[in-house]
């Protein structure tokens, strides 16, 4: 059964009793909440993901609920709790969904040390994956959002999850947080895209959540072979320029751009070595979203076919 097959009432009931058990990438989440906005957003963004009514091994038990104090009633807040622990400060109650998405990303980033986790977007086309490491000014999320609205499959906006053996990118297709100007850019670029409401004045400015295409969620258990590593930089007015990068330089940059390269010791080195050996590496300067998606589509097509 998928989330889209469940009525809003059924999901509400589950959320208030035993919790909604659903999949996101390789992870199974149990979510308890009374926040109705979360139910609506789950259906919008994750409609095609399985929901489990029979017992399923669960990685994180999450609750989004009002705090125990007066902020339950006045200028309402919600807290994020995972396995009995509240790791963050409360959020305003109407930001319950951004809190869920951000909190779950945090859980995944701080515990998934069986893989090398790169701070990057990853997309796939024709069976071949491209990794875009996220550096300040890269415009990674906007670039990623553009590509997935021109036929690319979203693997992940936030995490390049690298499996060492066999070498693969593990998909984790989740909502993509668009910030400020990017919201308007993507609305123009892809008028049919599901963006949802804008949350004004959050800690990161105005935020809206782009939903992945249904196919990305449907294929979330299908790994992809990494082929390209592209370091993007958004530069207003720049022409799209793709320049080859030395593998050794790519290795160093990626090791600094990883959530857990040092924490997983030799496995970090070995995974990164395998990845960089296997991929062609580039830097990318761009400003025009349509042009850069066309150029990247040409680039991936010119790579030899996936086996």
Partner 1 sequence: MNILTEVLCHHDRTQTLSIEDWNKLVRFARYNNMLGTISEILQPYPQDNLPEGLDFLLAAEKARSDYFQQQTRRELKHLERVSAQTSAQIVLLKGAAYIAQKMQPSFGRRPSDVDILVPKAEFEAVETNLIANGWDFSEDLTDYDQYYYRSLAHELPPMRHRFRAMELDVHHNLCSPISRIKIPAEKLFEEAIPVPNSNLYTLSKRDLLLHSGLHLFFNDELRGGIRDLYDMHLLTGEIIKDREDLEFLIERAEQLNVTRPLYYALKSLATIFNTPLPSGWEQQIQPLGPNGVTNWLMTKLIRQTLAPPTVEQHNSWWVHNALLARSHWLRMPPGVLLKHSLHKLRNPSSKH
- Please tell me whether residue 27 binds partner 1 under the rule CB under 8 A: yes
- Selected binder of partner 1 within 59, 125, 174, 223 (CB under 8 A): 59
Stretch that binds partner 1, among 2-10, 113-121, 131-139, 289-297 (CB under 8 A): 113-121
* Contact between residue 58 and residue 20 where contact means Cβ atoms under 8 Å apart: no
DSSP designation for 5: G
CA angle, 249 as apex, 246 and 255 as ends, to 5°?
A: 140
User: Nearest CA to 303 among 123, 128, 121, 168?
Assistant: 128
Cis ω before 166 (30° cut-off from 0): yes
- Please tell me whether residue 28 binds partner 1 under the rule CB under 8 A: yes
CA dist 209 and 212 (Å) reads: 9
Stretch that binds partner 1, among 80-88, 132-140, 236-244, 297-305 (CB under 8 A): 80-88
Q: How many residues bind partner 1 (CB under 8 A)?
A: 22
- Please tell me whether residue 56 binds partner 1 under the rule CB under 8 A: yes
- Please tell me whether residue 140 binds partner 1 under the rule CB under 8 A: no
Stretch that binds partner 1, among 98-106, 201-209, 245-253, 259-267 (CB under 8 A): 259-267
Q: Residue 57: what are its φ and ψ, rounded to 5°?
A: -60, 130
- Please tell me whether residue 55 binds partner 1 under the rule CB under 8 A: yes
- Please tell me whether residue 221 binds partner 1 under the rule CB under 8 A: no
CA dist 292 and 83 (Å) reads: 43
Stretch that binds partner 1, among 38-46, 178-186, 231-239, 261-269 (CB under 8 A): 261-269
Q: Which is nearer to partner 1, 85 or 192 (CB)?
A: 85
What are the distances in angstroms from CA 161 to CA 7, 25, 132? 33, 10, 12
- Please tell me whether residue 58 binds partner 1 under the rule CB under 8 A: yes
Q: Which is nearer to partner 1, 83 or 290 (CB)?
A: 83
What are the distances in angstroms from CA 90 to CA 6, 30, 62, 98? 29, 20, 14, 12
- Selected binder of partner 1 within 263, 273, 291, 294 (CB under 8 A): 263
Q: Which residues bind partner 1 (CB under 8 A)?
A: 26-28, 30, 55-59, 61, 83-85, 111-115, 263-265, 267
């Amino acid at each position: 059964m998928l989330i889209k097959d469940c009525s809003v009432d059924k999901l509400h009931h589950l959320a208030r009793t035993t919790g909604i058990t659903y999949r996101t990438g390789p992870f199974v989440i149990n979510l308890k909440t009374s926040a109705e906005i979360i139910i609506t957003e789950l259906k919008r963004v994750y409609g095609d993901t399985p929901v489990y009514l029979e017992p399923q091994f669960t990685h994180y038990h999450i609750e989004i609920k009002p705090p125990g104090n007066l902020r339950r009633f006045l200028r309402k807040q919600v807290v994020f709790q995972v396995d009995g622990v509240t790791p963050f400060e409360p959020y305003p109650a109407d930001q319950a969904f951004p809190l869920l998405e951000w909190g779950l990303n945090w859980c995944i980033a701080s515990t998934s040390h069986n893989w090398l986790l790169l701070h990057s977007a990853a997309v796939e086309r024709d069976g071949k994956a491209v990794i875009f490491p996220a550096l300040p000014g890269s415009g990674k999320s906007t670039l990623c959002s553009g590509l997935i609205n021109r036929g690319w499959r979203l693997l992940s906006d936030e995490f390049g999850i690298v499996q060492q053996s066999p070498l693969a990118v593990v998909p984790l297709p989740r909502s993509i947080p668009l910030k400020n100007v990017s919201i308007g850019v993507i609305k123009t670029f892809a008028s049919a895209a599901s963006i949802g409401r804008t949350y004004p004045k959050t800690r990161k400015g105005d935020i809206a959540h782009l939903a992945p295409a249904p196919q990305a969620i449907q294929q979330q258990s299908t790994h992809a072979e990494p082929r390209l590593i592209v370091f993007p930089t958004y530069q207003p007015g720049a022409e799209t320029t793709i320049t080859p990068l030395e593998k050794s330089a790519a290795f160093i940059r990626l090791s600094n751009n990883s959530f857990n390269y040092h924490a997983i010791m030799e496995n970090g080195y070995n995974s990164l070595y395998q990845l960089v050996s296997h991929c062609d590496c580039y830097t990318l300067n761009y400003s025009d979203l349509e042009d850069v998606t066309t150029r990247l589509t040409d680039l991936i097509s010119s790579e030899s076919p996936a086996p």
